[in-house]
Amino acid sequence: MASIPRQWVTFAGRRVNAAAEGPPEPGAEPLWPEDTRLRVSRGRMAGERAVVVGAGGISGAWFPPLKAEGVNIMAVVDLDIDAARRRIAEFELAARPSSDLAGTLSELQPDFVVDLTVPEAHCAVTCTALEAGCHVIGEKPMAASMDEARQMVAASERTGRLYMVSQSRRWSAMHYLVRDVARSGEIGDITTMNCDFYIGAHFGGFRDDMPSPLVLDMSIHHFDLVRFFSGTDPVAVYAKEFDPKGSWYKGDVAASCIFEMSGGVVFTYRGSWCAEGCHTSWNGDWRLVGDRGTVIFEKDRPPYGQTLAGDTGFHRPLRDVAVPHPQPRAEGMHGGLLEMLDYLREGTVPQTECHDNIRSLAMVFAAIESAKLGQRVAIAS
């Protein structure tokens, strides 16, 4: 579980008592004292009620896990109400279609909102939902700017409602392996991390015209993964964005970034969405170096590595690292949804709660700023 910033501990770290049965623990506060909508049974909430906002492409990946977990999808809201109607029919939902978010939330008072709108709408949709008293799980990237992201975090604090980002690539069996072997002590303390991402991607849509398509739309996943793998946070970045010869994108679709991470760790990121041939994995190909060994993770194959087995010789003797076998309970969006349900049922703060996820977003905007300025940019903690 990611570390929780102090301000969030003040907000949610109080001793809570979410169990409905038995006497409350002495001194414990109810989870949400003013919230009579929580229906808790045997320590678990039954049939949580949700409103889904945004019925576009990615919603097709959300309705199956929501249904599988028994979530009561009360409404699907989209500016285009026909899109909402189509998704309701396609997934056979007993939900109402709507194009009026505020009215729908006021009337239905769901437990949480799933924000699947475009990045430019995330701030308005999520803040509306938080102010209406709902918890929110929203698609990445958190926001279209750091100012908006800060507004969202402030709204979560002000309203006392949880906002988490679904950073879906975290919930992957292979990525849990990398995290656990990197942090197991087998390779000592991590000093250096590299990620290469090279894919020739012909989307033919909005990405062809947007500025910084790689860093804004894709690298957020890799920047979040480096924090997940290593447990470090960004300190500063020097970045160069560019549009290589032959590119079919208008914006800069390639980047080389050197991040200074906490603990003196250096993370070098090289990526391009217009690199034909010899593609890397969509998750990137990784090298994590510690002061006693190295772990490699490439082409989505299980990670492997070597660590010191002796202290003499030009090349020190090495042995293979032991790779543990942790498993997330579910992959992708389903894994994120389970963390939201854990929060509603038990008060466990999700690893991508907004105070944590804003640090991954900060890497994106600092890299873009550094490339514009041509200089190193510090990243506020």
Report phi then psi at 291, rounded to 5: -80, 0
Output the smallest distance, CB 361 to ligand NAD, in A: 12
**Which distant-in-sequence residues (6+ apart) come within 8 Å of 137 by Cβ?**
112, 113, 114, 115, 164, 165, 166, 336, 337, 340
Output the smallest distance, CB 81 to ligand NAD, in A: 10
Output the smallest distance, CB 141 to ligand NAD, in A: 6
**Which distant-in-sequence residues (6+ apart) come within 8 Å of 357 by Cβ?**
140, 142, 164, 165, 167, 224
CA quadruple 217, 175, 184, 327: dihedral, nearest 10:
140
Task: Please identify the residue of the shown chain whose CB is closest to the bound ligand NAD.
Answer: 56
| 73 three-state secondary structure | strand
Q: Is 132 exposed, middle or buried (0-12, 13-18, 19+ CB in 10 A)?
A: buried
In the list 139, 196, 233, 252, the residue contacting ligand NAD (rule: CB under 6 A) is 139
> CA 311, CA 304: separation in Å to the nearest integer?
21
Q: Does the footprint of ligand NAD cover residue 328 (CB under 6 A)?
A: no
Which of 35/82 has CB closer to ligand NAD?
82
> CA 276, CA 244: separation in Å to the nearest integer?
12
Total chain residues near ligand NAD (CB under 6 A): 22
Output the smallest distance, CB 251 to ligand NAD, in A: 16
- Alpha helices, DSSP H only, in the chain? 6-12, 59-68, 81-90, 101-108, 119-131, 146-159, 173-182, 213, 220-230, 332-346, 354-373
Which of 80/107 has CB closer to ligand NAD?
80
Which range of residues in 23-31, 110-118, 251-259, 359-367 is near ligand NAD by CB under 6 A? 110-118
Which of 121/225 has CB closer to ligand NAD?
121
Which of 5/56 has CB closer to ligand NAD?
56
Which of 168/272 has CB closer to ligand NAD?
168
Which of 295/354 has CB closer to ligand NAD?
354
Which of 79/377 has CB closer to ligand NAD?
79
In the list 140, 222, 345, 359, the residue contacting ligand NAD (rule: CB under 6 A) is 140
Output the smallest distance, CB 286 to ligand NAD, in A: 18
Contact 212, 141 (CB under 8 A): no
Which of 29/80 has CB closer to ligand NAD?
80
Q: Which of residues 166-205 bind ligand NAD (CB under 6 A)?
A: 168
Which of 305/335 has CB closer to ligand NAD?
335
Sign of the torsion angle spanned by Cα atoms 112, 118, 122, 128: negative
Q: Which of residues 28-87 bind ligand NAD (CB under 6 A)?
A: 53-58, 77-80, 83
Diameter of the chain measured on Cα atoms: 73
What token pair was written down for 285?
């190909």
Q: Which of residues 227-266 bind ligand NAD (CB under 6 A)?
A: none
Q: What does the per-residue mask of binding to ligand NAD show for 112-131, with x meaning CB under 6 A?
A: ----xxxx-x--xx------
| 278 three-state secondary structure | coil
Output the smallest distance, CB 132 to ligand NAD, in A: 14
Which of 49/122 has CB closer to ligand NAD?
122
Contact 80, 55 (CB under 8 A): yes
Instruction: List the strands of the sheet with 266-272, edge to edge.
Output: 318-320, 304-308, 293-297, 285-290, 190-198, 266-272, 254-261, 234-242, 377-378
- Long-range CB contacts for residues 241-246, cutoff 8 Å, separation at least 24: 241/212, 241/214, 241/215, 241/367, 241/368, 241/371, 244/272, 244/274, 244/275, 246/274
Residue numbers at the binding site for ligand NAD (CB under 6 A): 53-58, 77-80, 83, 101, 116-119, 121, 124-125, 139-140, 168
